[in-house]
Structure 1
Amino acid sequence: MSSDINLEKFELANKWIRLQNKGISIPQHLRTRGIKKIVLYGASEFALRLLEQCENEAGIIEILGISDKKISSKGDFYCGIPLVSIRDIKKIESEDMCVVITAMGYYEEILGELHKEGILRTISLQELIYDACC
């Protein structure tokens, strides 16, 4: 299983680099989908890369928070962005906001947790990258 996840991560990273080489950005792609604000779910390297891309393209996408099952509501921040629990996401949810699930291998589990809290507007980073490629 570990090698399957590693292969999946490699393929995703490769596709993302191909997008960047073609001048296609994930923040711009989110905007074309009507998404102006996001919460990143998953404190992974992919989340950090997306955070960097959003910072480099300031003003395109607003990051409202970073969430992960290990994060509780304590008022902590990462690079000025609030760390929020799943329950906190519901409080900041808006019509033009989406939760971008960056964690690989746990998508269905995370999606279930978010849906259980009534958070329905979600997308995986993997889906965004594959959608932008085609």
Structure 2
Amino acid sequence: MTGKLKRNKILLDEKDKLLDNYYLLNHWLEIKNLGKSVSMYFEWKGYKNIAIYGMAELANRLMEDLEDSPIRVIYGVDRDVSCTISRIRDVYDISEELPKADVIVVTPFYAYENIKHQLEKKVNYPIVSLEEVVWSV
């Protein structure tokens, strides 16, 4: 693949990620406007203590949505802890041993399958994508 074709593919991939984020956030706002919260998903599933993978903007929105709910975010996980912008206090590198949680929510849902595969080597509890959580409410 030539340099120009490679750059174009990267730009298209980024455009797809942004569009996917737009649709997810738009649906999330629709849920909020109906007086609902993604906490409903966790309550339906019986998850009380969750971990979040991906310490960027979507992790912050998830934490904000869960603030006044019975769902607790007990820690975060990222592949590069030094670059996190999340407000989660306890953040683990994916290479570290991870504490027990009821579920891990993967916020970079466009890379869910790859991240899930990595996490399955470390934990034996459910791993879900933020996309599944939001679209299930």
What CA RMSD, in Å, does the superposition of the two structures yield over aligned residues? 1.8
Give the number of equivalent residue pairs: 121
Which consecutive residues of structure 1, in runs of 5 or more, have no partner in the other structure?
73-77
2:92 matched to 1:84? yes
- Among the aligned pairs, what percent are the same residue? 27
Distance 2:59 2:124 in 1: 19
Rg (Cα) greater in structure: 2
**TM-score w.r.t. length of structure 1:** 0.81
Paired AA for residue 72 in structure 2? E
Paired with 1:80 and 1:41, the residues of 2 have a C-alpha distance of 11
Is the counterpart of residue 15 in structure 1 residue 27 in structure 2?
yes
Q: Give 4+ residue runs of structure 1 displaced > 4 Å after superposition.
A: none
Which range moved further: 29-38 or 118-127?
118-127
What's the counterpart of residue 75 of structure 1? none
Instruction: For residues 99-127 of structure 1, give each alpha carbon's deviation from its aligned partner in whole angstroms, at most 9, with x where no partner exists.
Output: 01001321111111101223441111100
Give CA deviations for 1:8-38 in whole Å, capped at 9, x if unaligned.
Answer: 0000000000000111101232112100010
Q: How far is 1:42 from its partner?
A: 0.3
Task: Give the alignment's TM-score, normalised by structure 2.
Answer: 0.80
Q: Please say if 1:114 is aligned against 2:119.
A: yes
Structure 2: gaps (5+ residues)? 1-12
1 CA distance for matches of 2:88 and 2:107? 19
Contact 2:75–2:88 (CA under 8 A) maintained in structure 1: no
* Contact 1:63/1:81 (<8 A) preserved: no
